[in-house]
Copies of this chain bind each other. A is one copy, B any other.
Amino acid sequence: MIKQRRTVFYLSDRTGITAETLGHSLLTQFDGIDWEIINVPFLDDLEKARLVLVQINHAIERDGQRPLVFSTLLQPEILTIIKQANCRVFDFFETFINPIEVELNQPFARMAGRSHGLQHHWSYFKRIAAINYVLAHDDGVNPKNFADADIILIGVSRSGKTPTCLYLGLQYGIAAANYPLTEEDMPALQLPKVLENVRSKLFGLTLSAAQLHFIRQERRPNSQYASLVQCQQEIQWQESLFRQFNIPYLDTTRISIEEISAIILNRCGLKRQLYG
């Protein structure tokens, strides 16, 4: 089957994160389309807007179908220019801001950069502090500070602990530590000593042995460490450990870092605030 080719523009006064998040969410609900994605962040003057208009009209010539445009533009003059192009505009602000004005009984501020801008200094510093905590407590380093962690991820090598901790720190300001379960721990079915006093903060990450094997092959091809048998044994062992010590855990085989993070926060009842 030949995929339909369509172009989508994400237009924004600022970072474009909101426009792209919204559009991506919607478009992933449609299969069989080969999307050409064009991001235009910082679209804040009329000259740039006229260039985008030309670009949109080129896209329709190429695709034979008009492009979709997701916009969070705040300046009406810019939006007016874009609407002269042959495209279908989905304007996020225009759609929702007026009903919210009515509901809150006040006009909106029409100021760009509020969403991803630096409104709250304290939240900026909280994020930076969380990232510093994550970096200083990666891979079992500094376990003496584990009492300060919001959460401690545990799992075998390459189970996704580090990226998940970084995401938790960057996006949610969570002080996330992680500790590797290693082959040396395997003979004894017990928790490493340094984790005994922080059991309530532990959360396990597991995955299929096949995927672990695939990931480890990338790192050290054809090693004992990467062998499927070794991966099977380690996974089986760690899952027994999680069950025995009643440690909540998650199979991350088919889910993204965003989902892993959201599930962990949800299960642990950690207060979340998404930054960015």
Interface residues of A (CB under 8 A from B): 4, 6, 14-18, 20-22, 24-33, 37, 39, 41-42, 68, 72, 88, 90, 92-93, 95-97, 99-100, 103-104, 106, 108-111, 113-119, 124-125, 127-128, 131, 135, 162-163, 166-167, 170-171, 218, 254-259, 261-263, 266, 272-276
Besides the known contacts A29-B108, A29-B111, A131-B166, 14 further A-B residue pairs in the complex with CB atoms under 8 A apart: A6-B104, A14-B262, A15-B259, A16-B262, A21-B115, A25-B115, A33-B104, A42-B263, A68-B103, A88-B99, A90-B96, A124-B257, A170-B170, A256-B275
Which of chain B's residues has its CB closest to A271's CB?
A: B39
Q: What residues of B have a CB within 8 angstroms of the CB of A119 in the complex?
A: 28
Closest CB-CB distance, A61 to chain B, in whole Å?
18
Asked if B72 and A127 make an inter-chain contact with CB atoms under 8 angstroms apart, the answer reads no
Given the complex of chains A and B, what is the CA–CA distance between A236 and B127 in angstroms? 27
Interface CB pairs A-B, < 8 A, 23: A15-B261, A17-B21, A17-B258, A17-B262, A25-B114, A26-B92, A26-B93, A28-B115, A28-B119, A29-B97, A29-B108, A90-B96, A90-B99, A95-B96, A116-B259, A117-B254, A117-B256, A117-B259, A118-B255, A163-B170, A170-B170, A171-B276, A256-B276
Which of chain B's residues has its CB closest to A15's CB?
A: B262
Contacts A104-B6, A118-B256, A170-B167; is A24 near B274 (CB within 8 Å)? yes
Q: What residues of B have a CB within 8 angstroms of the CB of A254 in the complex?
A: 117-118
Closest CB-CB distance, A65 to chain B, in whole Å?
9
Given the complex of chains A and B, what is the CA–CA distance between A4 and B276 in angstroms? 25
Q: What residues of B have a CB within 8 angstroms of the CB of A28 in the complex?
A: 114-115, 119
Closest CB-CB distance, A242 to chain B, in whole Å?
21
Closest CB-CB distance, A249 to chain B, in whole Å?
17
Q: What residues of B have a CB within 8 angstroms of the CB of A115 in the complex?
A: 21, 24-25, 28
Given the complex of chains A and B, what is the CA–CA distance between A263 and B117 in angstroms? 12
